[in-house]
Structure 1
C-alpha cells in the first residue's frame, strides 16, 4: 500500500458515521455561540456538516437524541464473534520477539499480559504466516509499550535496564503533539442547557473555536473553585448552581511545537514522562492570540449577550482563568493585559495526544513497525497531526480502513498459497485499552 486510497478512506468514515454519529439538537446556549461566531466574522455559516472548512458549522455528536453516549465499544456488535475474544481489565506488559541475534530481523510472536486477578499469561500467535500482533494502545501507551518491550532509543532503554534491546529505534516516542487549548468560563444570568461541543468555528487561520455549557460536565470544577471565580469578579455575580455557565475555548489545530515521550520506569500501570512543548514555536503562540481575540469578540457579541452578565467584559472573564488551578505553570502579571503571556500561562490539554510512533519514522505506510516482522501499530500514535474537532472519528476510521485492508491481504495470500482458512485456534485476541492500556 503506497498511499491511502481516498475512496476507501471515505467509505470507512461513512461506515463509522452511520454506526455512531448523530446530528445534535442545538439549543439556546449553542445557538448563541453560533450566532456570536458569525457576528465575530467566522463566516460563512456552513450548517450541519462533517467537513472541516472555514466558517461556522454544526458538527456531529456521539450522543443520540435520547442523550445516550456511543463509543468504539459499540462497533464490537459488528464483529464476527467466532473470530475475536475481548479480555477486559487485561494489562499488557510486554511484546515478545523470536530473535535478537545480530543481522536477523526480530519477529513478534506474542505478548505477556496480566489479568484482573494479577495473574500473568502469555498469548502467542498461531503458527501462520499471516498472523501478527497489532498494537493499539494510543499515543501514550503504544510508544511506552514498544520501549518496555525493547524497541526504542538504545541508550534510554539501557538506562532503564530493559531486559533486551530488540531494536535500536531512536524515533519511538518522538514527535509527540497535543493541540493546546485556552478557555474562558462565562457565567450566565439564566439557565443553560447541558451541552458538549456542537457548534464549531473554524477561522481563516484554521484554528477552532468551540464551547460547551453546564460546567459540571464540560469542566469538572468544584463549588470552591466556582466561589473563587466569583470573588475574582469582585462579587459582581451571584449564582446558585454551577450549571449556569458555559465555556468557550480555542484550540490550535496542528501545532508546530513538538515534544517527546520517555519511560519513567518499567511499570506499565504508570504513565511515562511526556513533554509536549506547548507554544514553544512562535507560530503557535501567534495563532493562540488570534484565537483569543476571536473569543473576546464572540463573548462581547450582541448574539451572546443574554448568556453573559451585563457589565462583565470578556477580558475580565479571561483573567478569571489566571486564578484557577488549571495547570502548574506560574502566572505573570503581564498576563492580565498581554494575550501572548496569557496563552502561555493558561494553556490546557484538549486530550488530542498524537505522535510517538509516526508513519515514516516508526511504522511504514502499511503501519508495520520498521525493522520488525509481524508487528503493526494502528492508532493515534501514528498521526503527524490530530485532525478536526476531535480525533476519535479518524482513529475509528483508521481501524476500519486497515481492518478491511488486512482482511483483503489475507484473502489474497490464501488464494495465492492455497492456505486454508484459520481455525478457532487462530482466533485473534483483542485487548481493550486506554492510554494506560487498561480499563
Structure 2
C-alpha cells in the first residue's frame, strides 16, 4: 500500500467526495480519500438510493453515526439525536435531499466579516458549476454540472392547497427562490437524478472518479491524528482493521469530516483551546481557541394539525400500495417513493423590516415517522399535517469538545438552543404565522384541529414552554472551524488553518454563519470553490448586481 500522496483528504462526505473528484482531474496529482464509514455496499443500498427510504435509513445505526447532544440546558435538558452519514457520500447519502443555496445576503455577510472572495458574486458561479438543473442553463442556474436538481412532485402532497393558502394569507409565492425575489413559497427542489435515484456526492462526483489511477479511496479507515513537523502538517495516522498506519501528504492534509469531526480531529492532533487540550493530556501544537466554538444550527419547532379526513400521505403508506410504489420506483424511477413528501418551501419574514427571510416552514402532508400499515394487521397511523417552524438565522451558539483523547469516542456536542430571547421571539412569531396559514382557505378545510401544541397554547409563556419541550434541529451544523480574520477564526479565506502550513478544512464547519437554507448545497459549493483555490485558479465573479427583493 502506497504511504505517500500529494493530498490526503479525511472524510468522504458532501465536501470530501467533491474535492477528491476535482483534484484528481489533474493526472499528475495523487490523492488519498479516507472514510471512517462504509463503502459502496452501503451507499448503493436501496434504502439509500430510493428517495423516500431516507426516513428509515436516517436513524439506522448501520447507516449513521449515533451522535447525540449533551443535555440542552435551555430545552429542558433534553438530549437530541444527531445522525450523520456513515458511508461514502457522508450525510449527502442519508439527508432529505432538499437543494437550496441560501439568500444572496447570507454570503455577502460572510464577505463583510472579512471572508474575501466569498460574497454572493463570488460563490454564484460555483453554484452554477455544480448544478444540472431541471430548469436548464441560464444566468442563474447551471445546466450541465454533476449534481442533478429535480422538482419535487405535487401529487398526493396537498401542494396546491398549501400554496394557495400561503398566498391568500398575504405571503409571497415565487417560481424560483434563487432568482429575483428570494422570498416566499416555492416548489421544493431535490438532489434526485433523472432515474429517480438519490444524487449523493458519492454517486455524482466520487463514483465516476474512482476509476482514475491517481485516486485511492479507503473506507472503514479511522483517522487518529494529523502528524506534524513543527507547525507543518505532514500526514495522518489512520487505523484500518486494527492496524495503525502513518501516511504522508507531500502537499496538504485536508479535513472534510464535517462540523463535528473536523474540530474533533484538530483537537486530537493538538490544535485547539489550550486548556481543553491539557485537560485530555494532548500535546499542544497550536493554541487555537476558536476550534469547536461557534457551532450554529437551524432549530425547528413542531406544529401538528389533525387532518379533516383520511387525506394525507398516510394513504400511500398502506403496505400493498407501498409495495407497488417500491416496484414502480425500482423499475421506472417514478411514483410517490421517487420523491420527497415536502412539496412546498415557504421562506418568510416575521418582520417586514428584516432584509431577508428568517423563517422556513417545513410543511408536510404527513407526520414524519409514520409507518407502513395494513388493515387488520397494523394500525393505520393518524392523518396529520405537520408544519415545523425553522429558524434560519439563530443567535444561539454552541460548541464541540472532546470527551476523551480516544479517537473512537464521539465528540461532546451542545447547541445551547434558545439561550436568548431573540430566538424565542422569532420562533413564537413563526408559530403564529404558521397558524395563520393553516387557518386560511383552502388549507383550513383540510384541518380538523391543531393538536400540537394545541389551539389553547397562545401566550408567550405557553409558547416558550412548548418550544423548550419539543424543539429539535434540522441536521445543518456549521461554524466550528469558522473562516475569517478575527482572533477566534480557525481558517483564513483560502481555508488554510491559521498558524499551520499544509493543512486546510473544507466542509460546513468553515461557514462563519449558517446560511438561510438547507446546507448540503452550500457545502458542495464550498468544496467546488476550494478545489479551485487549491489548484490556483478561480471562476470570475458575477458582474451583474443581484436583483433586489420586491
Q: Could you tell me which residue of structure 1 aligns to residue 402 of structure 2? A: 263
Q: Could you tell me which residue of structure 1 aligns to residue 186 of structure 2? A: 57
Instruction: Decide whether the 8 Å contact of 2:302 with 2:452 is kept in 1.
Output: no
The count of residues paired between Structure 1 and Structure 2 equals 364
1:31 to 150, 153, 160: 160
Q: Could you tell me which residue of structure 2 aligns to residue 148 of structure 1? A: 268
* Alpha-carbon distance change, 273 to 38 in structure 1, aligned in 2, over 3 angstroms: same
2:369 to 220, 230, 249: 220
Give CA-to-partner distance per residue, 1:325-380, whole Å, 9 cap, x none.
Answer: xxxxxxxx998972233222221111111111101210111110000000000111
1:72 to 188, 201, 209: 201
Other structure's SS at 1:55 match: coil
Instruction: Decide whether the 8 Å contact of 2:483 with 2:493 is kept in 1.
Output: yes
Q: In structure 2, what is the Cα distance between the partners aligned to 1:337 and 1:370?
A: 44
Deviation at 1:244, TM superposition (A): 3.8
Q: Could you tell me which residue of structure 2 aligns to residue 110 of structure 1? A: 235
1:291 matched to 2:415? The reply is no
Other structure's SS at 2:535 match: helix
Q: In structure 2, what is the Cα distance between the partners aligned to 1:267 and 1:273?
A: 13
Deviation at 1:147, TM superposition (A): 0.5
Q: Could you tell me which residue of structure 2 aligns to residue 366 of structure 1? A: 494
Q: Could you tell me which residue of structure 2 aligns to residue 94 of structure 1? A: 225
Q: In structure 1, what is the Cα distance between the partners aligned to 2:385 and 2:243?
A: 46
Unaligned runs of at least 5 residues, structure 1:
100-105, 224-238, 321-332, 411-439
Deviation at 1:8, TM superposition (A): 5.1
Instruction: Decide whether the 8 Å contact of 1:378 with 1:399 is kept in 2.
Output: yes
User: What TM-score results when the alignment is normalised by the length of structure 2?
Assistant: 0.61
* Alpha-carbon distance change, 142 to 301 in structure 1, aligned in 2, over 3 angstroms: same
Deviation at 1:306, TM superposition (A): 4.7
1:317 to 443, 452, 457: 452
Other structure's SS at 2:175 match: strand
1:167 matched to 2:312? The reply is no
Q: How does 1:335-414 map to 2 (within 5 A)?
A: 338-360=462-484, 361-408=489-536
Q: In structure 2, what is the Cα distance between the partners aligned to 1:64 and 1:391?
A: 19
Q: In structure 2, what is the Cα distance between the partners aligned to 1:182 and 1:251?
A: 7
* Alpha-carbon distance change, 67 to 119 in structure 1, aligned in 2, over 3 angstroms: same
Q: In structure 2, what is the Cα distance between the partners aligned to 1:295 and 1:6?
A: 30
- Report the more deviating stretch, 182-191 or 271-280: 182-191
1:204 matched to 2:349? The reply is yes
Give CA-to-partner distance per residue, 1:414-439, whole Å, 9 cap, x none.
Answer: xxxxxxxxxxxxxxxxxxxxxxxxxx
Q: How does 1:39-50 map to 2 (within 5 A)?
A: 39-43=168-172, 45-50=173-178
Give CA-to-partner distance per residue, 1:15-60, whole Å, 9 cap, x none.
Answer: 22212311222234233332232233322x1124435822211232
Q: Could you tell me which residue of structure 1 aligns to residue 443 of structure 2? A: 304
Q: In structure 2, what is the Cα distance between the partners aligned to 1:370 and 1:337?
A: 44
Q: In structure 1, what is the Cα distance between the partners aligned to 2:119 and 2:463?
A: 42
Other structure's SS at 2:227 match: strand
Q: Could you tell me which residue of structure 1 aligns to residue 256 of structure 2? A: 136
1:279 to 392, 412, 418: 418
Give CA-to-partner distance per residue, 1:247-300, whole Å, 9 cap, x none.
Answer: 211111121111222111123333211221111121111110110001112222
User: What TM-score results when the alignment is normalised by the length of structure 1?
Assistant: 0.76
Let me know the Cα RMSD of the aligned residues: 2.8
Deviation at 1:184, TM superposition (A): 1.8
Other structure's SS at 2:130 match: helix
Q: Could you tell me which residue of structure 2 aligns to residue 326 of structure 1? A: none
Instruction: Decide whether the 8 Å contact of 1:212 with 1:247 is kept in 2.
Output: yes
* Alpha-carbon distance change, 210 to 241 in structure 1, aligned in 2, over 3 angstroms: same
* Alpha-carbon distance change, 6 to 204 in structure 1, aligned in 2, over 3 angstroms: closer
* Alpha-carbon distance change, 243 to 397 in structure 1, aligned in 2, over 3 angstroms: farther
Give CA-to-partner distance per residue, 1:371-412, whole Å, 9 cap, x none.
Answer: 0000000111111222233100000011011112222359xx
Instruction: Decide whether the 8 Å contact of 1:213 with 1:243 is kept in 2.
Output: no
Q: In structure 1, what is the Cα distance between the partners aligned to 2:504 and 2:299?
A: 29
Deviation at 1:86, TM superposition (A): 1.6
* Alpha-carbon distance change, 2 to 334 in structure 1, aligned in 2, over 3 angstroms: closer
Q: In structure 1, what is the Cα distance between the partners aligned to 2:479 and 2:176?
A: 30
Instruction: Decide whether the 8 Å contact of 2:235 with 2:247 is kept in 1.
Output: yes
Q: In structure 2, what is the Cα distance between the partners aligned to 1:409 and 1:389?
A: 27
Unaligned runs of at least 5 residues, structure 2:
1-114, 133-146, 314-335, 351-356, 373-377, 539-550
Deviation at 1:136, TM superposition (A): 0.6
Q: How does 1:211-250 map to 2 (within 5 A)?
A: 211-215=363-367, 219-220=368-369, 240-242=379-381, 244-250=383-389
Instruction: Decide whether the 8 Å contact of 2:148 with 2:194 is kept in 1.
Output: no
